[in-house]
Structure 1
């Protein structure tokens, strides 16, 4: 294979002034067409806004226009006769492309970046360069020509659009992950998982705690918060991961960054804080030692704002080779935490209401049940899954005169604190009426009339069983409730056949009692519909499954309840499940 030969080293091209003089002289002699064309070409090259250069085979500048000279920050004369890498340090990639074009003869178009020699502005810029080989008429290689246009603005716009798209996707991910749960701890963990290691080496979320600092103070004061989530990036020393535990109560002193952020409602960034500053932001001496061991060189605090008020704050730390926090970092983190704060605020409010209702319900259900003589009881209560609100289930056992016992299992319609409060009203009402010695049907009728007159905003279903062990019988009545299960000694379980009256609180009335034989050893199991209702399944199917459960009336009551729950209670119930088992002796 033969290669084009290199021409002798060329001298720099004639100057524009020399070309103009030659052109004028030739025109005066009547032979100036070629030089006129040369002069026109030079005027085009000298005046184009594109940067133009001609290099010889050693990449020495033979020609360049003022545009290129301006890019490089040197005069045209300072370029001519000198190699490109010598004139422009850092031009290695462009020089490599030029050498490749000289070697192969194939033109190339490339985008390259760099910085102009302007000491006032040190920002990256981009150029589009087109290179092609110049050959003499006899085929010899003269050098390479380069035409360069700056494309910085277009690339910056494209990068801006890309960053905007990435930012939008990040905010959507934040809303989906943090706002996709009503569990406050899970929502806070989702936020720290987003932040670490993408934005920080360490992150923690502290929230205002009803048992600590309920509201953000107006001025910096000591605050007692609850740490809901903490995360550390891979590489953080094992003994320090995590530096705190989720659920731990954190006391922040008045001088701390956390206290200032909750008060000012603005982010605070500490890049390379000195030891005195570190001592101020550390809640305790032990925590200070932990922070030092973590070797955090930069820390950022951002408030979690909902409706103009903080519900907590996020702490982020960077260590080792991670860069310091920049204003762009903080701007993006503000957007992210603002989006996350909405989900965390909803979850905190729900969690507080859920736990309040649950504690109310447990408090009522924990009241000692004292049945009359000849009756033993056992109960079980399973609250709904974390994603559902607490319901208004309750059970009760009231010892009555003449050795009788009234059993009650009920369910207030709806969920939450108001349902739990309504449950307590129905429970107290039925207890008071039971002591008047009313039969179950009259007791339900009076309870319905009273609840309707009091305008209780929730209706309730319930089943009553008045047990008389001495007589070996019971009287049952129901207000819109599922029927209890009866298991007599030596017989198969069966559902009580009861006329169903309307729920309490409707004012409709119309309840009936039905006597039922209960010889000694008979088991009665009352329950709420959370045990047998399934989405997409007929309740009769679940009731049949309950009746088909292998239950021996003589087994210990707690074991019987466990058997029923194991066979029927759903793993993730959408409603509470309440059971009350009673056996006559």
Structure 2
């Protein structure tokens, strides 16, 4: 039975099932300890007639979905490639799998904003649009709970791990922004490898008003010292960003900090800014391989120009470059560990092979998040399943100039079409 309450006009209306379930989840969740988030979601799904609830989180290598454990929860690890749960995760679309007993198994992507958190799975006797809409909202709220409570618990990080993580890798993961960011104007995705052993590689970004700030770093060496250098670089970069420094001033600040804190050491860096109104991309490349410009599924060319010295040598004069993007263009930035890995025959993996992988992935017209995930795995396979150096990838797509007026007026809500698997 619904709960009645008065609206501003004095009328009384009942609380719908969806309002009651989501309201109950919100009311109880803010004080719920992290270990009970999954069981709480299972309880609320049971109220809508669902059962066999699984809350999957992506592992750090983006290869498996790992289920939370607890009362009312089911599930076993599922591969992201080749499973219904993985299909929902990869495509950001709901998947429905009819069961032999006439019920329907739903796999709903859990998105925190646009960041991929995992997948919510549940079984319902039958499914209509109201069920789909409610399941989508429960999945979104579950993602928010996981992300929010991750700030003060190891429960979810531990669930995501498939093997022990090095101290340097742990330090790097703690400094990363979300791996995926999507707005109507911009799509962005990044990756680090090897996920459990990465040391000096990292990336960062921020979207402020109509400027996308982005950066990729590769600190000299491996292990704790390299991770510490990268963490200091990120702190210096963010300090300059928050102070509204221009790109040359950000570079000089990082250069000074590195020279003073790690004498005789250095780090390569790429820092850039994309004007999301005009599509103008500006950058300083301090020792990285040149980024790739991708248009219509093909690598159009490199973002070349004279290279600035890596940060840490002191007193270098930064060189700023720029190019004009077209709507739909993508840019891929990467560290030298991507292309300099030695293969069994002694040769390097190479930029030509990287470009071929990029074009093969682009032809599938996938979201940058899935493109980067597939590219990262393809690179690892191409290098014989091993890596002797850290590697990082950062892909940015400029979709179009902002449409703030249209968004402010509101876009009619629609139930995701999803995918039905027989």
Length-normalised TM-score, structure 2: 0.49
Higher RCO (C-alpha 8 Å, min separation 6)? 2
* Bigger radius of gyration among the two: 1
Length-normalised TM-score, structure 1: 0.36
